[in-house]
């Protein structure tokens, strides 16, 4: 596996890859890799010739400095895991490499209403930071396909919008959420849960599954969401949102009327447990 720290070196290498007629798949990550990340690498390997994974804990997308400080870093183990699944290239830039202009000097992306709901509402500035770093990484890697996880569904929609804003021809491939055997969505932040909280954490998945099983049985979406919120609170969570939404035209809309046959319906949850913020979502109706 090739390792690059400088974008100029990675760019030169990828120019040669492109000249040889090979396609490039890209999996951006913040490291602390788990099987969810590795499933993205596998999808990229299936669909493209040369797979690039980046590991960069991007400071500009953290609205909470404590979250940034505590973000798990396991570089040696990450490199081993990437090697084990025969990743072609890992890109490990420094903050100075990615932000020579400094952290505060940012351009603004117009993501519209998508930026002010769900994650955007509770993590102000988060998606501007995601847009800024993904834009930079895309300029360096120029992949044919970009692989991202459904666990961060809103992030996928933001990146889809970013690709349009910057006129990129890269295709976004959204991959399914990998789960632990009990159903908890794999996430780098799970390692920060105490053993007791780790057991409780599965309630998020259970709440989503309940919403899915009950969807369509009545028209009381709001009530179902409130019940899910209350049951999470009773188990010791501090939920930020439990929302049921319609996915249309790369936008999530509040579902305030019965969904027609073509509408994709999604439930999304964010909740704090044991000082860790967990997110997950599930399609209740239709297919992404």
Ligand X SMILES: Nc1ncnc2c1ncn2[C@@H]1O[C@H](COP(=O)(O)OP(=O)(O)OP(=O)(O)O)[C@@H](O)[C@H]1O
Ligand Y SMILES: CC(C)(CO)[C@@H](O)C(=O)[O-]
Contact between 88 and ligand BAL per CB under 6 A = no
Contact between 190 and ligand Y per CB under 6 A = no
Binding mask 249-288 for ligand X (x = CB under 6 A): ----------------------------------------
- Between CA 144 and CA 21 the distance in angstroms is 12
Binding mask 6-45 for ligand BAL (x = CB under 6 A): ----------------------------------------
Contact between 28 and ligand Y per CB under 6 A = yes
135 is a catalytic site residue: no
Q: Among 98, 107, 110, 99, which residue's Cα sits nearest to residue 164?
A: 110
Give the three-class secondary structure for 245: strand
Binding mask 34-73 for ligand X (x = CB under 6 A): --xx-xx---------------------------------
Residue 101 has φ and ψ, to the nearest 5°, of -80, -5
Contact between 118 and ligand Y per CB under 6 A = no
Residue 248 has φ and ψ, to the nearest 5°, of -150, 135
Residue 113 has φ and ψ, to the nearest 5°, of -65, -25
Q: How many CB atoms lie within 10 A of CB 31?
A: 21
Whether 172 and 156 have beta carbons less than 8 Å apart is answered as yes
DSSP one-letter string for 190-210: GGGS-HHHHHHHTHHHHHHHH
Contact between 240 and ligand X per CB under 6 A = no
- Between CA 133 and CA 7 the distance in angstroms is 13
Contact between 58 and ligand Y per CB under 6 A = yes
Q: How many CB atoms lie within 10 A of CB 27?
A: 31
Contact between 115 and ligand Y per CB under 6 A = no
Contact between 239 and ligand X per CB under 6 A = no
- Give percent helix, percent strand, percent coil of the chain, each to the nearest 5: 45, 25, 30
Q: Which of 88, 115, 152, 240 binds ligand BAL (CB under 6 A)?
A: 152
Stretch that binds ligand Y, among 82-90, 130-138, 234-242, 264-272 (CB under 6 A): 130-138
DSSP one-letter string for 57-120: --GGG-SSHHHHHH----HHHHHHHHHHTT-SEEE---HHHH-TT-SS-------GGGGGSHHH
Stretch that binds ligand X, among 5-13, 14-22, 170-178, 248-256 (CB under 6 A): 170-178
Contact between 152 and ligand Y per CB under 6 A = yes
- Between CA 16 and CA 23 the distance in angstroms is 11
Contact between 61 and ligand BAL per CB under 6 A = yes
**The entry of ligand X, ligand BAL, ligand Y, none that residue 143 binds, CB within 5 to 8 Å by partner kind:** none
Q: Which of 133, 157, 203, 245 binds ligand Y (CB under 6 A)?
A: 133
**The entry of ligand BAL, ligand X, ligand Y, none that residue 93 binds, CB within 5 to 8 Å by partner kind:** none
> Which residues are catalytically annotated?
37
Which residues of this chain interact with ligand Y, rule CB under 6 A? 28-30, 58, 61, 130, 133-134, 152, 155
Which residues of this chain interact with ligand X, rule CB under 6 A? 29-30, 36-37, 39-40, 148-149, 151-152, 175, 177-178, 185-189
């Amino acid at each position: 596996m090739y390792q690059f720290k400088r974008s100029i070196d990675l760019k030169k290498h990828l120019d040669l890859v492109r000249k040889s007629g090979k396609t490039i798949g890209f999996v951006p990550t913040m490291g602390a890799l788990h099987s969810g990340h590795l499933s993205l690498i596998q999808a990229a390997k299936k669909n493209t010739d040369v797979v690039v994974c980046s590991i960069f804990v991007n400071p500009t997308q953290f609205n909470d400095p404590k979250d940034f400080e505590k973000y798990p870093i396991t570089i040696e183990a990450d490199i081993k895991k990437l090697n084990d699944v025969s990743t072609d290239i890992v890109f490990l830039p420094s903050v100075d490499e990615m932000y020579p202009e400094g952290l505060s000097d940012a351009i603004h992306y117009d993501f519209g209403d998508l930026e002010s709901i769900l994650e955007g509402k509770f993590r102000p500035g988060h998606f501007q930071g995601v847009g800024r770093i993904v834009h930079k990484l895309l300029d360096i890697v120029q992949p044919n396909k970009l692989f991202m996880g459904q666990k961060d569904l809103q992030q996928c929609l933001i990146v889809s919008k970013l690709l349009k804003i910057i006129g990129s021809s890269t295709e976004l491939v959204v991959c399914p959420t990998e789960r632990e055997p009990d159903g908890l969505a794999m996430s780098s932040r799970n390692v920060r849960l105490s053993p007791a909280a780790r057991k409780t954490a599965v309630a998020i998945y259970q709440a989503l599954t309940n919403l899915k099983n009950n969807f369509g049985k009545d028209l009381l979406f709001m009530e179902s969401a409130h019940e899910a919120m209350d049951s999470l609170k009773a188990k010791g969570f501090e939920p930020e949102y439990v929302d049921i939404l319609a996915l249309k035209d790369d936008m999530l809309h509040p579902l305030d009327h019965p969904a027609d046959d073509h509408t994709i319906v999604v439930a999304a949850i964010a909740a704090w447990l044991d000082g860790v913020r967990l997110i997950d979502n599930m399609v209740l109706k239709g297919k992404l």
